[in-house]
A and B are shown apart, each in its own frame.
Chain A
Amino acid sequence: MSYKFEQFSKVMASLLGITYAELLDNFQPATLDDLNAICRLRSAGFKRLGDNDYATMRWRYFHRLNSPSGLFALKLNGEIIAVVGAEPIKVNVGNFTYNGVEAADIVVAKEYLQKGIGAWMNMYLQHQYPIVIAMGANENSSSLVRRVFSPMNCRMHFKYMISLRAYLASKGVPSFMLTVMCLIAWTPLRLRRLVYHTLFTKDYQVRTFTTADEIEIFLNENTSNDTLSRIEKDKAFYHWRYDTNPVSNFIYLAVFHKNNPVALCVLKSGDQSNKKDWYLMDWVLSREYKTSENLRNLYRTCVKYAADNGAESVSILLSDKFSEESAIAAGFSHRSTNDGFYLYANETINKAIFDDSNWYITYADTDEQL
């Protein structure tokens, strides 16, 4: 979608009764003094209160000491009327690394809806950064990001049901029918998995870590995927996102083959409200071990670890063929296909960034299930 930022901004400013210069002046990184007002605004716009509490927002957007926050606020007459998250990301495209942002958590005050403010905030980020990625969390935000970003890979949700009983009960199957229903549903699933499980190589060792400090071995230059476009992560990222997360619990799980590090992933082992449905995210294979067999075994290892520790299901969200085939071969079942992620890259970036097949996107990249 092409648009003229300055022209669009001038029109929007006039609708708000301010000048173009005032509009730009009034849109600044939020400070901690703004956070209470932002939480109130978000609570009015989003029902998922857990995402809106002060601690979570502070953790997410105000964690970089001596740097502006990753949250932009638009003020009118001193009142915050709209907010957008702009979480810094580093994106590798070929041999170049760019500083970009992930646009998220857009909220506009009710009385200022339908004035183009959400679109404008996205445009502003695109005007400021060479690369911006975005997700569509709901129908409204999806229709917005579709207008100002290029749609990329679809995200596919896969799930491995460890306990069918709990799942069927949650779907309202009466307790007296659970055993029969489990048997009916379980038999084909079990047969299918039997085939996959025979393919599981036994000489893989598993090791868990509790903090990002211990995973450095996986984050050196030998451990990265070799796709052309990817979001770069370092120890500081892992430490922030997982070790200091105020809402959810995470476990780092590493797989070794003959004492060589093969793969690393992060397992979300539940949050404050749900300890049974686990998520597999942020997986990475050592470059020399990037085979579907190793990825399949990583997935299988994670499922086994989760099952041994009380999980009733393990979910995974992915968007590339390699991961998809490995997940199916590990016994995961397709659940749904959601919107993909959305990308903006300015004219200085290699156009190969828009090729879906160059991306290797995981749960953490798509900023879900934090």
Chain B
Amino acid sequence: MVKDMKEPASTQEIINMVEVLLNEKNGSLFIDSKLMDIAGWDSMGRLLLMAELDERFGITLKENELAALKSVENIISTIDSKGMLAK
């Protein structure tokens, strides 16, 4: 049986993923975009991000880690810290 290998993603791929999850137009978010300025960053958006990080990267975010996310850059850093950012 082949193990489900998680693939690292590039910075741009992560930004695109966040755009889809938070219902933002393609190309509208940047690395320095603040999450609190995004309408889709509500309770549902947060859960969607948690679910996606878990499924796509095998990253399980704790509540305090989720609460610490303030920008797209923070999301990228979190993914990087788990070794899932493609260099």
Partner-B contacts on A (CB < 8 A): 1, 3-4, 7-8, 10-12, 15, 113-120, 143-144, 147-148
Contacts and interface: CB of A to CB of B under 8 A. Distances in A.
Given A1-B23, A4-B55, A7-B55, A143 B42 contact: yes
A8 B42 contact: no
A268 to B, nearest CB: 35
Interface of B: 23, 39-40, 42-44, 46-48, 50-52, 54-55, 63
A257 B52 CA distance: 61
26 contacts: A3-B48, A4-B51, A4-B55, A7-B51, A8-B51, A10-B54, A11-B47, A11-B50, A11-B54, A15-B63, A114-B42, A114-B43, A115-B43, A116-B43, A116-B44, A116-B46, A117-B43, A118-B43, A118-B44, A119-B47, A120-B47, A143-B39, A144-B44, A147-B40, A147-B44, A148-B44
B interface majority secondary structure:
helix
B44 A7 contact: no
Nearest to A140: B42
Contacts of A4: 51, 55
B43 A119 contact: yes
Nearest to A7: B51
Contacts of A12: 47
Contacts of A148: 44
Nearest to A123: B44
B23 A147 contact: yes
Contact of A7 (B43, B46, B52): B52
Contacts of A143: 39, 42
A128 B51 CA distance: 20
B40 A8 contact: no
